[in-house]
Amino acid sequence: MLSISGLDVAYGQSQVLWGVDLEVRAGELVCLMGRNGVGKTTLLKTAIGLLPARGGRLTFDGSDITTWPPDRRARAGIGYVPQGREIFPHLSVEENLRMALLGCGRAASLDEPLALFPALKPLLARKGGVLSGGEQQMLAIGRALLTKPKLLMLDEPTEGIQPSIILEIEEALRRIKVELKLAVLLVEQYLDFAERLADKYVIMAKGAVVASGATRDLRPEMVRQHLAV
């Protein structure tokens, strides 16, 4: 599905990613972990095309997308929920969701995101800006799903969210992976959440991948070395 090989990324003269390799398959959830500032968000932004690759190659669904602009990557099936969610605060929940359908040429059904996040149903007329952080996150994920992605990338979806809504998001992501067979690339600092949900982990430090494997094999010493504050 998504294959990243030898990825180098720089901000001006400052290189921030060094030879990153990563793969996410259909129906698989991969959790990207590491301390703040190690390049996780940069990796997602490069995968969606918001930042250019200085070196390496990105392949998605059999096509080399290394030089594709963000809109072409989105049309090909890459969905992205950034840190901060970036909903439209002055639009209603329903209007936010329908924004994802503009130009898609599909019937404007909101059934799928509302089935995954039933808590949004009574909030359809409410402005996005007055929602709680957890409600905004559910809205952002639901909006991304309406674009019918093959790969869904999420940047710290549990950040600043109350535990009850974290459980709702966890269950929705599990269903997205199992029922919809989507590939999911998740940046996450909440270790328990990642261990319950992810098939594989990738740990970054100083802009490079330093460990990866099946989540069941994640060892306490790795956590202490690369994730503990």
Question: pLDDT tens digit string along 79-136?
Answer: 999 988 789 999 999 999 998 887 665 556 888 899 999 999 999 999 999 999 899 9
The helix or strand, by DSSP H or E, that contains position 184, with its residue range, turns out to be strand 183-187
pLDDT at 135: 92
pLDDT at 152: 96
Task: For the chain, give every domain's residue range.
Answer: 2-85+148-226
Residues 226 and 188: their CA atoms lie apart, in Å, by: 13
Q: Has domain 2-85+148-226 been given CATH number 3.40.50.300?
A: yes
Positions of the chain with pLDDT under 70: 103-108, 228-229
pLDDT at 139: 95
pLDDT at 104: 61
- 4: which DSSP letter? E
To the nearest 10 degrees (0 to 180), the angle between helices 133-145 and 163-178 is 10
